[in-house]
């Protein structure tokens, strides 16, 4: 039987966080066993913030090397750079014309971004439609993402339904896949806010590049609560800090939350945090070793980029041709 298709993307902006790993990259690796996976480094999306040429070039290779370190296998899956496959921009324009202004105005991330950004460009507005083009080009069945992207996947589904209703079954309707034990890793200092790589306060995030002493410091400062006696229990509503740390530890060790709650029964927050530090340092050191192995071999990385774009174009072209045909553009 033909394998179902998984598609997802990640922006090459700044350092990746533990949130990116737990919410997305960890799933990306696992899904390769069962699905045909297509992963994209969304450089066009990153242009909504003005980028410096050399830094963007470097960030793209950094993220690619990190994807490989996290277990994305370019022999099994396609990994490519979004801008190298022009069909994304071509389908984007067409989908713009099938999307209502009001739909985009309601996007939560757009509303947050225009509130925070000085540079409110049209790309920010168009962002979710480009994401829809990314997904729909590959007849995607499943999209592994963190919780912050759910609304964008819903939009891609709505656009696909709308288009199919007019032109027949052109697009597969995609479904999200969440890591239910970690779909939204929260900030260490403010556990009611998402851990985000664009955060200006570095103490809120764990970067995949943080060294042992930085991790120790950040976990030490992570907000818990003042329960006495201390209780290490998942209860996000009343104990967001401890719950977030439990989710992090569970994802790094692969022990269930229930097991961790049992193991840390009657223990204090210090010993809980010590265990997190030990496990995180171990995990990130291993990951970084793999990362540096790939990152130093630019020739290999560039060959992956070239092959990835070539393969992706073949699939993307099939859908784009169908779209051009039903619309009447292929005379
Ligand atoms: P980006 O680059 O912001 O994030 C990449 C992935 O990481 C997830 N993520 C998190 N998951 C859990 N907890 C967190 N704190 C956390 N922070 C980030 C995101 O949900 C995402 O899955 N627009 C997308 C990239 C993209 C894309 C696509 C995704 C472009 N085209 C098509 C899916 C399908 C983005 O900016 O992700």
Residue 311 neighbours by CB under 8 Å, 6+ apart: 78, 80
Q: Which atom of ligand 1 is nearest to the CA of 17?
A: 17
Which entry of 113, 176, 216, 273 is annotated as an active-site residue?
A: 113
Decide whether any atom of ligand 1 lies within 6 Å of the 43 Cβ.
no
Q: How confident is the model at residue 127 (pLDDT cuts 50, 70, 90)?
A: very high
Domain segments of the chain as ranges: 5-178+297-327, 202-292
* Whole-angstrom distance, CA of residue 48 vs CA of residue 71: 29
CA 56 to ligand 1 centroid distance, Å? 18
Decide whether any atom of ligand 1 lies within 6 Å of the 135 Cβ.
yes
Query: From residue 185, how far is each of 11, 111, 204, 326 by CA, in Å?
Result: 17, 21, 11, 42
119: pLDDT strictly greater than 90: no
* Whole-angstrom distance, CA of residue 320 vs CA of residue 136: 10
Q: How confident is the model at residue 200 (pLDDT cuts 50, 70, 90)?
A: confident
Residue 218 neighbours by CB under 8 Å, 6+ apart: 188, 203, 206, 210
Decide whether any atom of ligand 1 lies within 6 Å of the 38 Cβ.
no
Decide whether any atom of ligand 1 lies within 6 Å of the 143 Cβ.
yes
Could you report the per-residue pLDDT of 251-283, keeping only the tens digit for each?
Answer: 999 999 999 999 999 999 999 999 999 999 999
- Residue to mutate (ligand 1; options 16, 17, 20, 177; most atoms within 8 A of CB): 20
CB 159 within 8 A of CB 134: no
Which entry of 197, 233, 290, 313 is annotated as an active-site residue?
A: 197
Q: What confidence score (pLDDT) does residue 25 get?
A: 98
Q: What confidence score (pLDDT) does residue 288 get?
A: 97
CA 274 to ligand 1 centroid distance, Å? 29
In CATH, 202-292 is 3.40.50.1370? no
CB 126 within 8 A of CB 5: no
Q: Is 113 a catalytic residue?
A: yes
Could you report the per-residue pLDDT of 280-310, keeping only the tens digit for each?
Answer: 999 999 999 999 999 999 999 999 999 999 9
Q: What confidence score (pLDDT) does residue 231 get?
A: 96
Q: How confident is the model at residue 124 (pLDDT cuts 50, 70, 90)?
A: very high
14: pLDDT strictly greater than 80: no
CATH number for the domain running over 5-178+297-327: 3.40.50.620
Within 13 A of 46's CA, how many CA atoms are on the CB side? 24
Q: What confidence score (pLDDT) does residue 311 get?
A: 98
């Amino acid at each position: 039987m033909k394998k179902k298709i998984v598609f997802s993307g990640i922006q090459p902006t700044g350092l990746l966080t533990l949130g990116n790993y737990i919410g997305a990259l960890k799933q990306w690796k696992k899904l390769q066993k069962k699905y045909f996976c297509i992963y994209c480094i969304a450089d066009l999306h990153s242009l909504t913030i003005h980028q410096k040429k050399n830094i963007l070039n470097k960030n793209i290779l950094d993220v690619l090397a990190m994807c490989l370190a996290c277990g994305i296998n370019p022999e099994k899956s396609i990994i490519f750079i979004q801008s190298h496959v022009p069909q994304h921009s071509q389908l984007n324009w067409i989908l713009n014309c099938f999307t209502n202004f009001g739909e985009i105005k309601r996007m939560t991330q757009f509303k947050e971004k225009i509130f925070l950004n000085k540079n409110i460009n049209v790309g920010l507005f168009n962002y979710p439609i480009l994401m829809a083009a990314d997904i729909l080009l590959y007849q995607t069945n499943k999209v592994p993402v963190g919780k912050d992207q759910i609304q964008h996947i819903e939009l891609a589904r709505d656009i696909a339904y709308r288009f199919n209703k007019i032109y027949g079954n052109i697009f597969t309707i995609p479904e999200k896949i969440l890591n239910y034990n970690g779909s939204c890793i929260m900030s260490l200092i403010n556990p009611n806010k998402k851990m985000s790589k664009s955060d200006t306060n570095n103490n809120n995030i764990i970067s995949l590049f943080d060294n042992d002493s930085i991790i120790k410091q950040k976990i030490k400062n992570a907000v818990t609560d003042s329960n006495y006696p201390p209780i290490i229990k998942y209860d996000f509503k009343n104990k967001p800090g401890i719950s977030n740390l439990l989710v992090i530890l569970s994802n790094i060790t692969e022990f269930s939350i229930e097991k961790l709650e049992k193991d840390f029964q009657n223990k204090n927050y210090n010993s809980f945090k010590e265990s997190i530090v030990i496990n995180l340092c171990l995990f990130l050191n291993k990951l970084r070793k793999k990362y540096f192995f790939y990152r130093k071999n630019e020739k290999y990385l560039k060959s992956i980029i070239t092959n990835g774009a070539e393969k992706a174009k073949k699939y993307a072209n099939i859908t784009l041709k169908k779209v051009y045909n039903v619309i009447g553009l292929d005379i």
